[in-house]
Structure 1
Amino acid sequence: MMDSKSFAGDHGADEGRTSGRRAMRKNPDWTNGLRQLYDAVVDEPLPDQFRDLLAQLDKKG
């Protein structure tokens, strides 16, 4: 079993958590590309077959 200092590296557990919070505030560079990909997928229209399937399920429910 690991203690909390194992996760904090060479620093104490509290200091490790603080630096982790700071790191979470600034997004890494790759997150912009991931956000653009996600937005592009969300903006895609729903395929007709999937829309028909959902309509059939709504009628049964």
Structure 2
Amino acid sequence: MAYNEPNSGTRKQIDDNLRRVFQEKVEEEVPERFKQLLAQLQEQDTKKGSGEQK
């Protein structure tokens, strides 16, 4: 099967669609569970920095 190079109009459409999809992902809210895990890690780092050990 031969590969045909997309023309500039097709390329622009692909670029626009990819930008739209990735922008939607960037704007999504971070899941609450992930926020909780990040908070736990930050707390552990803070305790390690102050000399406390769990």
The TM-score normalised by the length of structure 1 is 0.53
Aligned-residue CA RMSD (Å):
0.6
Size of the aligned set, in residue pairs, is 34
- Aligned-partner Cα distance in 2 for 1:58–1:31: 37
Gaps of 5+ in 1: 1-27
1:54 aligns with 2:38: yes
Counterpart of 1:44 in structure 2 is 28
Structure 2 gap ranges (5+): 1-10, 46-54
TM-score by length of 2: 0.60
**Secondary structure of 1:46 counterpart:** coil
Identical aligned residues as a percent: 32
